[in-house]
Amino acid sequence: MDKIIKKNEEYNESNCGLHETLFHNANGYIGVRGCLEEGVPEEWDTMRGTYINGFYDVIAMKQAENLRNLVEEKQTMLNVADTQTVYLKIDKEFFSLKTGTVLKNIRTLNMKEGYTLREIHWKSPKGKEVSISIKRMTSFVQLSLFTIEYCVTPINFNGKISFLSYHIANVSNYSNPNDPRLAAESEMYLIPQKVEIMDGYSLATSKTRKSELSMCSVVAHKMIATQKVKETSWREENAIIFEASVYTAKSEHIVLEKYSVFSDSIRNKNLEETAVMDLEKVLNNGLNYYYNTQKEYLKHFWYQSELEVMGDEGMNQAVSFNMYQLLQSAAKDCHCNIAAKGLSGEGYEGHYFWDTEMFIAPFFTLTNPELSKTLLSYRYDILEAARENARSLGHKKGVLFPWRTIAGKECSGYFPSGTAQYHIDGDIAYAIMSYYHTTGDLDFIKEKGEEILLETARLWLDVGNYSDGKFVINDVTGPDEYTCMINNNYYTNCCAKYNLLAAVTLYKLLKEKNEIQKLVDKIQLSENEIVEMEEAAEKMYLLYDKKMGINPQDDSFLSKPIWNLEETPKEKFPLLLHYHPLHLYRYQVCKQADVVLAYYLFEKEQTRETMIKSYEYYEKITTHDSSLSTCVFSIVASRLGMKKKAYDYFGNSAKLDLENIHNNTKYGIHTANMGGCYMAIVNGFAELRISEKGVSIAPFLPEKWEGYRFKFRYLGNLIRIFVKKEEIIAELVEGTAISIRIFAKQYELALQEKVIVNYK
User: Residues in the site for its own copies, rule: CB under 8 A?
Assistant: 61-72, 180-181, 392-395, 412-416, 418-420, 463, 465, 467-468, 472, 474-475, 484-485, 487, 555-556, 558-561, 576-586
Q: Are strands 159-168 and 86-90 parallel, antiparallel or unpaired?
A: antiparallel
Of these residues, 37, 38, 306, 481, which one is catalytic?
A: 481
481 is catalytic: yes
- Residue pair 376/441 in contact (Cβ under 8 Å)? The answer is no
**Coil vs helix vs strand at 599:** helix
Using DSSP, state whether 407 is helix, strand or coil.
coil
Least Å distance between CB 565 and its own copies? 15
Taking the least distance from each CB to its own copies, the nearer of 262 and 541 is 541
Which residue, 329 or 488, is less far from its own copies as judged by CB?
A: 488
Q: How many residues does the chain have?
A: 760
CB of 1 or CB of 582, closer to its own copies: 582
CA distance 126 to 123: 8
* Torsion 426-417-380-667 (CA) sign: positive
* Region for 511 from its dihedrals, namely left if φ exceeds 0, alpha if ψ lies in -120 to 50, beta otherwise: alpha
| 3-state secondary structure (DSSP) of residue 212 | coil
Task: State which residue, 52 or 70, has the beta carbon closest to its own copies.
Answer: 70
Residue with Cβ nearer its own copies (228 or 580): 580
Name the strands in the sheet holding 738-742, side by side, starting at the edge strand that comes first in the sequence: 689-691, 694-697, 738-742, 745-749
Question: Min. distance of Cβ 633 from its own copies in angstroms?
Answer: 25
Report the residue number, 397 or 586, with the smaller CB distance to its own copies.
586
Q: Shortest Cβ distance from residue 273 to its own copies (Å)?
A: 40
Q: Closest approach of Cβ 483 to its own copies, in Å?
A: 9
Of 174, 206, 169, which is closest to residue 191 (Cα–Cα)? Answer: 206
Residue 540 CB, nearest distance to its own copies (Å)? 14
- Helical spans, DSSP H, in 309-465: 313-329, 355, 361-367, 369-381, 383-392, 423-439, 442-444, 450-463
Helix, strand, coil % in the chain, rounded to nearest 5: 35, 30, 40
Rounded Cα distance between 533 and 529, Å, is 6
In whole angstroms, give the CA distance from residue 714 to residue 255.
Answer: 46
Q: How far is the CB of 393 from its own copies (least distance, A)?
A: 5
Cβ distance to its own copies smaller for residue 380 or 579: 579
Burial class (CB in 10 A: 0-12, 13-18, 19+), 555: middle
CA distance 439 to 449: 13
Residues 6+ apart with CB under 8 A from 744: none
Please state the closest distance from residue 612 (CB atom) to its own copies, in A: 24
Cα–Cα dist 434/498, whole Å: 12
Closest contact distance (angstroms) between CB of 552 and its own copies is 12
Smallest gap, in angstroms, from Cβ of residue 669 to its own copies?
22
| Cα–Cα dist 453/444, whole Å | 12
Beta-bridge partner residues of 696? 689, 741
Contacts of 597 (CB under 8 A, 6+ apart): 358, 479, 491, 632
- State in angstroms the smallest separation of the CB of 584 from its own copies: 8
d(CA 412, CA 405): 8
User: Which of 35, 484 has the CB closer to its own copies?
Assistant: 484
Residue 355 or 481 having the CB closest to its own copies: 481
Question: What is the β-pairing status of strands 229-236 and 239-248?
Answer: antiparallel
Q: Is 599 exposed, middle or buried (0-12, 13-18, 19+ CB in 10 A)?
A: buried
Q: What are phi and psi of 266, to 5 degrees?
A: -70, -40
Residue-wise burial string across 217-239, b where 16 or more C-beta atoms lie within 10 A, e elsewhere? bbbbbbbebeeebeeebeeeebb
Whole-number Cα distances in Å, 102 to 46, 90, 99, 549: 20, 15, 8, 63
Nearer of residues 360 and 420 to its own copies, judged by Cβ: 420
Nearer to its own copies, 477 or 551 (CB): 477
- Residue 350: CB minimum distance to its own copies, A: 16
Decide whether 67 or 744 has the Cβ nearer to its own copies: 67
Burial environment of residue 527 by CB neighbours within 10 A (0 to 12, 13 to 18, 19 or more): exposed
Q: Say if residues 722 and 739 touch (Cβ distance below 8 Å).
A: no
- Residues 6 or more apart whose CB falls under 8 angstroms from that of 646 comprise 634, 635, 637, 638, 680, 684, 685, 700, 702
Residue 404 makes CB contacts below 8 A (sequence gap 6+) with 348, 351, 352, 353, 410, 411, 412, 418
Q: Please report how close the Cβ of residue 378 comes to its own copies at its closest, in angstroms.
A: 24
DSSP-assigned letters across all residues of 703-714: TT-SEEEEEEEE
Q: Which amino acids are annotated catalytic?
A: 481
